[in-house]
Chains A and B, each alone.
Chain A
Amino acid sequence: MSEANAKLEQFRGEARAWLAANFPRSLVGKAAVYMTYDLDVPMEGDALAWRTALGEKGWGTPTWPTEYGGGGLSQMEARVLQEEMHAIGAFNPIPILAGMGVTMVGPTVLEYGTEDQKQRHLPPIARGEVRWCLGYSEPNAGSDLASLATKAVDKGDYWEINGQKIWTSGADISQWCGALVRTDVNVGKRDGISFLMFPMDQPGVRTRPIKLIAGASPFCETFFDNARADKKDLLGKLNDGWSVGKRLLQHERQSQTGGAPMGGGGGSLQELAKKYVGLDSAGKLRDEDLRLRLAQHLMDAKTHSLTLARVAAESRGNAKVTAAASILKNSATHVAQARAELTLEIMGGNGLGWEGESFNDEEINAVRAWLSGKAMSIYGGSFEIQNNIISKNILGLPETTQKG
Chain B
Amino acid sequence: MAALNEEQSILKDQAIAWINDNGPVAAFRAMRDSGNPLGFEQATWSAMADMGWPGILVPEEFGGSNLGYLTFGLILEELGKQLTASPLLASGLVGAAALILGGNAAQKKACLPRIADGSRIVTLAVDESTRHDPAGIALAAHKTANGFALSGDKCFVVEGGAATDFVVAARTAGNAGDANGITLFLVDGAADGISRTLLRTADSRGYAHLKFANLEVSHAAVLGDVDNGGALLDAILDRARAGVAAEMLGTASQAFAMTLEYLKTRKQFGQVIGAFQALGHRAAELYTEMELARSAVEGALAAIDADAADVPAMCSLSKCKAGAFLFRMSNQLIQIHGGIGMTDEFDAGFYLKRARALETMYGNQGFHRARFATLMGF
* Cβ-defined contact, B280 with A285, below 8 A: no
- A270 with B378: in contact, given A291-B373, A295-B369, A306-B296 (CB under 8 Å)? yes
List, in ascending order, chain B residues with CB within 8 A of A401's CB.
275-277, 280
Using CB atoms, name the residue of chain A closest to B273. A397
Q: Beyond A295-B372, A313-B3, A395-B260, is A303–B317 a contact (Cβ under 8 Å)?
A: yes
Nearest residue, chain B, Cβ from A315: B3
Among A28-36, A102-110, A323-331, the stretch in contact with B: A323-331
Do B288 and A327 touch across chains, with their CB atoms under 8 A apart? yes
Partner of B280 from the list A292, A299, A388 (CB cut-off 8 Å) is A388
B197 interface residue per 8 A CB criterion:
no
- Give chain B residues whose Cβ lies under 8 Å from the Cβ of A387: 280-281, 284-285
Residues of A contacting B372 in the complex (Cβ-Cβ under 8 angstroms): 295, 298-299
Residues 385-404 of A, flagged 1 when their CB comes within 8 A of B and 0 if not, give 01110111011111111100
For B317, the chain A residues whose CB sits under 8 A away are 299, 302-303
Per-residue A-contact encoding for B263-279, CB less than 8 Å = 1, 0 else:
11000000110111100
Cα distance A402–B295 in the bound complex, in angstroms: 28
B-chain residues with CB within 8 Å of residue A388 when the two chains form the complex = 277, 280-281, 284
Contact partners of B276 in chain A: CB under 8 A: 400-401
Q: Does B23 contact A (CB under 8 A)?
A: no
Interface residue? A307 (CB, 8 A) = yes
Tell yes or no: B298 within 8 A of A by CB: yes
Q: A362 near B: Cβ within 8 Å? A: no
Residue of A whose beta carbon sits closest to that of B4 = A314
A48 at the interface (CB under 8 A from B): no
Flag if A391 contacts B369 (CB, 8 Å): no
A397 touches B296 (CB 8 A): no
Once A306-B295, A327-B288 are accepted as A-B contacts, the answer to whether A397 and B3 lie under 8 Å apart by CB is no
State whether A384 touches B291 (Cβ < 8 A).
no
Distance of A33 Cα from B321 Cα, bound (Å): 37
**CB-nearest residue of chain A to B290:** A327
Query: Contact partner of B292 among A295, A296, A304, A316, CB < 8 A?
Result: A304
Q: Tell me how many residues of B have a C-beta within 8 Å of chain A.
A: 39
- Across the interface, which residues of B come within 8 angstroms of A125, CB to CB? none
Q: How far is the CB of A70 from chain B (nearest CB, A)?
A: 28
Cα distance A327–B292 in the bound complex, in angstroms? 9
Closest Cβ–Cβ distance, residue A287 to chain B (whole Å):
10
- The yes or no answer to B1 lying at the interface (CB within 8 A) is yes
A59-B372 Cα distance, complex, nearest whole Å:
39
Contact A299 B284 (CB under 8 A): no
Q: CB of A155 within 8 A of chain B?
A: no
Interface residue B299 (Cβ < 8 Å from any Cβ of A): yes
Q: Is the CB of B321 within 8 A of A402?
A: no
Contact of A394 among B272, B287, B377 (CB under 8 A): B287
- Supposing A279-B378, A295-B373, A299-B369 touch, asked if A391 and B283 sit within 8 A by C-beta, the answer is yes
Please, which residues of chain B bring their CB within 8 A of the CB of A330?
288
B320 at interface by CB-CB < 8 Å:
yes
- Chain A residue with minimal CB distance to B310? A302
- The yes or no answer to B106 lying at the interface (CB within 8 A) is no
Evaluate contact between B321 and A327: CB separation under 8 angstroms: no
Contacts of B377 in A (CB 8 A): 270, 274, 283
Contact (Cβ within 8 A) B378 A296 = no
Q: Enumerate chain B residues within 8 angstroms of A306, measured Cβ to Cβ.
A: 295-296, 298-299
- Decide yes or no whether A336 CB sits under 8 A from chain B: no
Interface flag for A273 (CB, 8 Å): yes
Q: How far is the CB of A72 from chain B (nearest CB, A)?
A: 26
Q: Contacts A294-B373, A295-B372, A390-B287; is A397 near B280 (CB within 8 Å)?
A: yes
For this complex, 26 residue pairs linking A to B, each with C-beta atoms less than 8 Å apart, are A274-B377, A295-B373, A299-B317, A302-B296, A310-B294, A314-B1, A327-B287, A327-B291, A330-B288, A386-B284, A387-B281, A387-B284, A391-B274, A391-B283, A391-B284, A394-B284, A395-B260, A395-B280, A395-B287, A397-B264, A397-B272, A397-B283, A398-B275, A399-B275, A401-B275, A402-B275
Closest 5 CB pairs of A and B: A400-B275, A391-B280, A390-B284, A306-B295, A295-B373
